[in-house]
Structure 1
Amino acid sequence: MPDTSNVPVARAGAEVAARLAALSGARVVVTGGGGLVGSRLVALLRAAGADVTVLDRMDAYPGTTRSLFGLERLGARVVVGDVCDRAVVRNLFAGADRVVHAAAYADVAACTRRPDIAFRANVQGTQVVLEETARAGAGRLVLASSAAVYGDGEDAARGPQEFREDQPLVPLSVYANSKLWGEHQTRLILGGSDTEYTVLRYFSVYGDPQVPKPGSHSWMVAWLSMQARVGRPMRLNGGGVQVRDLVHVEDVAAATALALVEEEAAGRTINVGTGVPTSVREVAELIAPHFPGSRCITTPRPEGDPLGGYAATARCRALLRWTPAIAVREGVERYVRWLAATPQAVPDWLTEQAA
């Protein structure tokens, strides 16, 4: 059995764990399994008895941050490699029963700065994964997409909007556009094959051990918490009016695992969110009491930063037979407590900026 001591394993609950028992002995490949969601998913799959292989470049985070995910203690086979490397992907997918494609250049600002890298990782890499999944005859692929595909929704002037899976999509960034392309391509390649697929649109994922990246404007809970901890003002881009549906990483991992086994999810696109809108300013207000003397400042709204909205959750409840378990207040408090207990998680570049 894997050593899960000191590893952040998702609290899936007994009922969810019972359904995931269907994966016992299944061979599952998780691309991007070394990241925040991927490592939590691997923990769940291993707890269910699945034989898990991770394919990840392992370069999205520095080694000090990557070690916080605890992947090496979960008993999965870890292959350091690139989804664009067809030979590697073909070799790993041979005999796979299930595939989760979570590998991506997953940062809005970074994709805007380097669309060439975004194209290679999110478009070329996804094409390779889809073709090799079909070739291997895997039973199902779950594609990790993003709520970024909704952009500002149908009428941003109305205020916070509920985003429905069947509404028109108007991506505002390179990242969002690459994710939408991946959704379309998944349907085109796998729709007529023997491999089932499910597309999951993750809303704003947060939770320990998430660590922000320099130059990014994503991941508000981590960003604002760490700014307050090092004594910097919490930066509210555009005044913090943007709305996010904050969904805890443990819940995202549970939904992703269930998408591998739930029959009704085949061929469907499903939001993974709480259905509760929370403004960025409200996130700062939840964090502030934990850091006496903290303050907020207003900064310009970055390019490609959507006003946002919240998830329509009826399809998730019906098809995955599941709802998120961790409310925003609880999740933020858990993150702040984790940060207090793990001060080394604050990246050096952020500490240096504060100094």
Structure 2
Amino acid sequence: MVVSLYELAGSTVLVTGAAGLIGSRITAQLRQLGARTVSVCKMDAYPESTYRDYFGIRSDDPDFIVGDIAEPRLIKRLIPGCDYVIHAAALADVAACTRQPLEAIDSNVVGTQRVLDAVAASRTVRRMVFVSSASVYGNGEQGQPGAQFREDAPVRPVSVYGASKVWGEHETAAVLGAAGISYAIVRYFSVYGEPQVIKEHSHSWVIAWFAMRASLGLPLHLNGGGHQVRDFVHVDDIATGTLHALTAERAHQATVNIGTGTGTSIRRLADLVCSHYPGVPLRETAMPPGDPEGGYACTRRMEDLLGWRPGISMEDGVARYAAWLRERPDVIPQWLREDAAA
């Protein structure tokens, strides 16, 4: 970490969505820097044991609040005294947003508005980071896999999730810009890394999906033939990049990609995962609704404004996940084990 992050020591940072993979990593890094974190999350995506054993969430932590940011009074109660806000809470599963658009609106639109209203009324918040997604780009300007996505390109989401993030970006600029409060918007590319745990009926978190299926000898599903391109970013780098956006002076009112700048096809990823699990078959399957062809991040603005770039290669990150999975085979859900047994 560079010196600029150490200005967070002694500050109080509100993190929404703090119990998830990304939020828990952000919170851990903030505490290492000497910041106090006020954490809020619904904790309804996984069993309680997953949060406790894998994400390190302690239910007896007085600074951890189990709650819904869409509840009108919650964020208003937590904001006073906070120096910074990282708004990462969302229904972030593309498939779940497609199946349940009203839930996506409640979490990603109503919840975001509650946070923005509370921050705008605050007298202490120095900056808020709104967590967005590369899904806002959809299939890009050319509509072909493998495009480079620049922050100044038109946004063309192809999913409910992506559309909700476009709204959040525009509303963040409108509300906090009018209130005179500094903000930054970060667009995450494909986040992965231990201890990521898959969800049933989801097609997100493909590295975790592939590794868990491969460990059981199940075929890896190449949706649409596996030609989609993703820019895979390890969760440790995602968390660090977010903190740089929170503190970098030049990130004021900026929208910044957080990616590696390298595109990888899903088929190439499957081959890489199979190198850790030889003999696992590949199977072509239909493309799910809302799954973009994808592309990779243009990282020039990130490197220029944040003075930082990710440090974990995809090869190293996949190897880390496979090693973690070998040490913790109990993380594989029972429903997936039953599929393998059948």
Query: Normalized against structure 1, the TM-score is what?
Result: 0.93
Q: What is the CA distance between 1:19 and its match in structure 2?
A: 2.1
Q: Is 1:43 equivalent to 2:39 in the alignment?
A: no
5+ unaligned residues in a row in structure 1: which ranges? 1-12
The aligned residue for residue 61 of structure 1 is: 46
Asked if residue 180 in structure 1 is aligned to residue 171 in structure 2, the reply is: no
For 1:230-309, list aligned pairs within 5 A: 230-309=216-295
2:115 and 2:330 map into 1 onto residues whose CA distance is 35
Query: Which deviates the most, 293-302 or 75-84?
Result: 75-84
Shift of 1:21: 1.2
Q: Deviations over 1:77-131 (max 9, x none)?
A: 1000010112111111111110000000011000000001000000000000000
Which secondary structure state, in structure 2, belongs to the residue aligned with residue 72 of structure 1? coil
The reply on whether 1:105 has 2:91 as its aligned counterpart is: yes
Aligned residue in 1 for 2:15: 30
Report the RMSD for the aligned CA atoms in angstroms: 1.3
Q: Which residue of structure 2 aligns with residue 117 of structure 1? A: 103
> Is it true that 1:198 corresponds to 2:198 in the alignment?
no
The 1:261–1:41 alpha-carbon spacing in structure 2 relative to 1, beyond 3 Å, is same
Residue 73 to residue 332, structure 1, CA distance change in 2 (3 Å): farther
Post-superposition Cα deviations, 1:156-209, rounded to whole Å, max 9, x if no partner, equal 24x411000001111000000001000000011001213110000000000001
Q: Is the 8 A contact 1:42 1:74 kept in 2?
A: no
CA drift at 1:73:
9.6
Q: Note if 1:166 corresponds to 2:152.
A: yes
Aligned with 1:211: secondary structure?
coil
Separation in 2, partners of 1:58, 1:45: 20
Whole-angstrom distance in 2 between the partners of 1:65 and 1:299: 29
Q: CA deviation at 1:269?
A: 0.2
What SS does the corresponding residue of 1:302 show, helix, strand or coil? coil
SS at structure 2 position matched to 1:86: coil
State the distance in 1 between where 2:59 and 2:317 align: 24
Match of 1:156 among 135, 143, 159: 143
User: 1:325: which partner in 2?
Assistant: 311
TM-score, normalising length: structure 2: 0.97
Tell me, what secondary structure is at the counterpart of 2:44? coil
The answer to which of 76-85 and 317-326 deviates more is 76-85
Counterpart CA distance in 2 for 1:353 and 1:212 is 14
- Which residue of structure 2 lines up, in the alignment, with residue 144 of structure 1? 131
Residues 29-86 of structure 1, C-alpha deviations (whole Å, 9 max, x = no match):
0000110110000011001111101010111112232220113299771000010112
Query: Where does structure 2 lack aligned partners over 5 or more consecutive residues?
Result: none
Q: What amino acid maps onto 1:62 in structure 2?
A: P
Aligned-partner Cα distance in 1 for 2:62–2:151: 33
Residues 1:222 and 1:142: Cα distance change in structure 2 (over 3 Å): same
Which stretches of structure 1, 4 residues or longer, exceed 4 Å deviation after superposition?
A: 73-76
Letter in 2 for 1:107: D
AA in 2 matched with 1:33: A
Work out whether residues 54 and 76 of structure 1, in 8 Å CA contact, stay in contact via their aligned partners in 2. no
Amino acid at match of 1:129: V
Task: Report the equivalent of 1:8.
Answer: none
Q: CA shift at 1:292, angstroms?
A: 2.5
* Counterpart position of 2:297: 311
Q: 1:5: which partner in 2?
A: none
SS in structure 1 at match of 2:107? helix
Q: Secondary structure at the match of 1:240?
A: coil
**How far apart in 1 are the matches of 2:126 and 2:255?**
17
Q: 1:76 to 1:205 in 2, by over 3 A?
A: farther
**2:329 is aligned with 1:348:** no
SS at 1:269's partner residue? Answer: strand
Count of residues in Structure 1 that have an aligned counterpart in Structure 2: 339
Question: How high is the sequence identity, in percent, across the aligned residues?
Answer: 49
Q: Structure 1 pair 287/74, CA: closer, same or farther in 2 (3 Å)?
A: farther
